[in-house]
A and B are shown apart, each in its own frame.
Chain A
């Protein structure tokens, strides 16, 4: 079973909103509300931005929001800022095999 699918790249202008999708299967993204999202700047460790589909950890800007419909989860970033330029990864628990999976990652460019 392959990893959840994300677009390789997305872009947007400052102030705009963008959405990154994460399409999995019924035993991972579609199974429970255990989807999380990570931001990774070059040379840095990943940072948790969203957990359990739509919850933000303390300290994460409310410009970041998450949702899910069926086997597809989405991360939306509103009011794009230059500092949002990074790679973004989704992750989910896969219940059928008791493992965790990451999407392939999406590179966000702020134009």
Chain B
């Protein structure tokens, strides 16, 4: 069974930094592209970023470009999201998701980790 477990969320001040992690099990992690998707409480899903299977290619939503960095450590089966210069509007539950088909659906999701940006 595929399991994705996010961690690292919490309270951060505007302008601060935070690093989220997503640890995968039950799959050959290095074989799959991975994504981060976020959801402001009570609102809809918003795609944030994706990384290919070996970490050589990344893409970002315009809203986080230049501030967030997605990366992975295939030896540790772990996906990361480094969040810098955070803003109030970055407050959300952050989900990691695994895709089997490169441009297909998001097949498996973690339970999410809440990031709250507030002073």
Contact = CB atoms under 8 A, between A and B. Distances in A.
Interface of A: 3, 32, 34, 36-38, 40, 45-48, 50-52, 57, 89, 91, 93, 98-105
A100 B44 contact: no
Interface residues of B, number: 21
A103 B46 CA distance: 9
A89 B112 CA distance: 17
24 contacts: A3-B44, A32-B103, A34-B104, A45-B95, A45-B110, A46-B106, A47-B109, A48-B106, A48-B108, A50-B105, A51-B105, A51-B107, A52-B105, A57-B105, A89-B44, A89-B45, A91-B105, A91-B106, A98-B59, A100-B35, A100-B47, A102-B47, A103-B44, A104-B44
Nearest to B46: A102
A45 B46 contact: no
Contact of A46 (B95, B103, B104): B95
Contact of A57 (B37, B59, B107): B107
A57 B106 CA distance: 11
Nearest to B107: A48
Nearest to A45: B109
Contacts of A91: 45, 47, 105-106
A40 B109 CA distance: 11
